Amino acid sequence: MPAELPGAADAAIRIRDVRKVFTTGGREVKALDGIDLDIAEGEFVCLLGPSGCGKSTLLNAIAGFSPPTAGTIVAGGRPVTAPGPDRAMVFQEYALFPWMTVEKNVAFGLEMKGASRAQIRERVDALLAKLNLRDFRDRFPKDLSGGMRQRVAIARVLAIDSPMLLMDEPFGALDALTRRNLQDELLRIWAELRKTIVFVTHGIEESIYLADRVVVMTYRPGTVKRDLRITLPRPRDPASPEFNDVKREISRLVMEEQLRHEQAEAAATAD
């Protein structure tokens, strides 16, 4: 048995010795190996690492979309065996229904839950206001900017009121200014609603700006290279010397793994 990690008793998400192997065309890819991680209730954790290090694989395992090959994941005290309403996922490519208006997209989860019309109306109004979407309620996703669409995706997930939000590079496709706006909004919502957030990114600055903890992953197999607590007070200033000290340390760790990635690719091409 692995030793109990600090805070494990009240962990919202407890990951033990998780391994994931993909087999494609007779070849095995060891995507994750020996992942042990505890995420406390209300904590904001970023999974950080270069492309291909297994961030999405780990998030999908927590979500219950793709079970690990070995090991266990417990969320909210229950073993994860399938997706559940306690764990809401936000993807990079705004997973909205293109045939529904903004309002209908946000209302969808509540309708599925069988909420009353009055409840739905009240909740949707509040969320549209919270995410500055009130003037866009009758628009369709195709008529919105990327930032707006991602706001709708967040409003949609908040409507279901899951205690855990799993976010896979949700702001990756946005320009820098829109990204910063949405980061600030997410922090505001997190501070207000105290959700547990697992946020995947390959943005070093983004992870330090957002997270209580940054979990740096190794490149293939994905393991926990370093689990760093970010103690900088919020709101954080990316231009401050303290921020840059953290950034320097994390950049070094990520660069090591990026280099291993490039070397592995070069070796694979040479084969």
Ligand X SMILES: Nc1ncnc2c1ncn2[C@@H]1O[C@H](COP(=O)(O)OP(=O)(O)OP(=O)(O)O)[C@@H](O)[C@H]1O
Nearer to Mg ion, 56 or 183 (CB): 56
The answer to whether 64 contacts ligand X (rule: CB under 6 A) is no
Residues 4-63 within binding reach of Mg ion (CB under 5 A)? 56
What's the maximum distance between 2 C-alpha atoms anywhere in the chain? 63
Binding residue for ligand X (CB under 6 A) from 10, 51, 99, 255? Answer: 51
Binding residue for ligand X (CB under 6 A) from 11, 15, 31, 167? Answer: 31
Least distance from C-beta 22 to ligand X, angstroms? 3
Beta bridge partners of 224: 217
Residue 171: CB atoms within 10 Å: 25
The answer to whether 55 contacts ligand X (rule: CB under 6 A) is yes
Residue 163: CB atoms within 10 Å: 17
Nearer to ligand X, 57 or 207 (CB): 57
- Enumerate residues 6+ apart whose C-beta is below 8 A from 101: 137, 138, 139, 140
The answer to whether 57 contacts ligand X (rule: CB under 6 A) is yes
Tokens of 54: 């297994």
The answer to whether 262 contacts ligand X (rule: CB under 6 A) is no
Number of residues that bind ligand X (CB under 6 A): 14
Beta bridge partners of 19: 70
- Enumerate residues 6+ apart whose C-beta is below 8 A from 25: none
Nearer to Mg ion, 146 or 172 (CB): 172
53 binds, options ligand X, Mg ion, none, Cβ within 5 to 8 A by partner type: ligand X
Residues 187-206 within binding reach of ligand X (CB under 6 A)? 202
Nearer to ligand X, 22 or 99 (CB): 22
* Phi, psi angle pair for 36, to nearest 5°: -120, 125
CA angle 207, 211, 212 (to 5 degrees): 145
Q: Contact at 8 Å (CB) between 141 and 176?
A: no
Nearer to ligand X, 38 or 257 (CB): 257
Tokens of 80: 């994860």
Least distance from C-beta 57 to Mg ion, angstroms? 8
Please report, as ranges, the residues that interact with Mg ion according to CB under 5 A.
56
Please report, as ranges, the residues that interact with ligand X according to CB under 6 A.
22, 24, 29, 31, 49, 51-57, 202, 220
